[in-house]
Amino acid sequence: MSDGKLVIGNRRYSSWSLRGWLLVRLAGLDVTEVVIPLAGGVTLAVLDATPAGLVPYLEHGGARIWESLAIAEYCAEHAPSLWPADKVARALARSIAAEMHAGFRGLRLAMPFNACRAFPGVGRNPDSLADIARVEEIWAETRAAWGGGGPYLFGAGFGAADAMFAPVVGRFLTYEPELSAESLAYCEAVRTHPLVDEWYRGAADEPEAWLLEKYEGIG
């Protein structure tokens, strides 16, 4: 018997669920996964299953946790290495994770997450391009300061900050905006991480009945 449940949206579309799922898996929490196909707006089954009407939602050992950053903090209580050990690096990791959580609306709106499609060149507008430039700045500065020991933002370990940016990598792979060689290398490192790859394989296996024209008829 598991210690709780993780409610997520379907893998093809649910960028926030990818964050929560990665965090829970990285922390090694033993939970039953409940996957709800998203309706592309308000999903009644999500409203029924979660306190805030949003996925991801985690119940574990008597705790109820929603909002991706809160899930990150809860998971880090079980796996402290999700955040960097150095206090200064940890402050930066939390700052960029929070910036990701709170912002980048232009990017989200113009380039909706779709783990199974390629829409190269679509979605470029001043807002999305400004967000992409900021993401690249964050990645470059973080890796320059802390990433020397490996391919991820803070080096060798895929941590909470990487989990927060994983769906952005997914968007970049789908919409193929122009990126620096360094950003492309980071995208490759994230995409080939075994857990991210597991998510993508799961997305490819989802039933056709879950496809939404809203996210498939782009471009």
Ligand X SMILES: N[C@@H](CCC(=O)N[C@@H](CS)C(=O)NCC(=O)O)C(=O)O
Q: In what order do the strands lie in the sheet with 32-36?
A: 32-36, 4-9, 57-60, 63-66
Binding mask 55-94 for ligand X (x = CB under 6 A): xx----------xx--------------------------
Beta-bridge mates of residue 59: 5, 64
Q: State the Cα–Cα distance between residues 9 and 217, nearest whole angstrom.
A: 20
Name the residue nearer to ligand X (CB basis): 57 or 152: 57
**Closest approach of Cβ 11 to ligand X, in Å?**
11
Q: Does 108 bind ligand X (CB under 6 A)?
A: no
Least CB distance from residue 1 to ligand X, whole Å? Answer: 26
Residue whose CB is nearest to ligand X in the complex, by number? 43
* Nearest-approach distance from CB 149 to ligand X, in angstroms: 29
Q: Is 15 in the site for ligand X (CB under 6 A)?
A: yes
Binding ligand X by CB under 6 A: which of 10, 11, 12, 16?
16
Q: Is 9 in the site for ligand X (CB under 6 A)?
A: yes
Query: What is the rounded distance in angstroms from the CA atom of residue 17 to the CA atom of residue 43?
Result: 14
Query: Rule CB under 6 A: which of 24-53 touch ligand X?
Result: 38, 42-43, 46
Q: Which of 68, 143, 52 is nearest to 100 (CA)?
A: 68
CA distance 151 to 126: 29
- 44, two tokens: 């009644």
Residue number, 201 or 214, with CB nearest to ligand X: 214
Return the number of the residue (44 or 156) whose C-beta is nearest ligand X: 44
Are the CB atoms for 59 and 46 separated by under 8 Å? no
Strands (E), 54-193: 57-60, 63-66
101 is a site residue for ligand X (CB under 6 A) = yes
d(CA 157, CA 109): 30
Which of 54/163 has CB closer to ligand X? 54
Contacts with ligand X, residue ranges (CB under 6 A): 9, 14-17, 38, 42-43, 46, 54-56, 67-68, 101
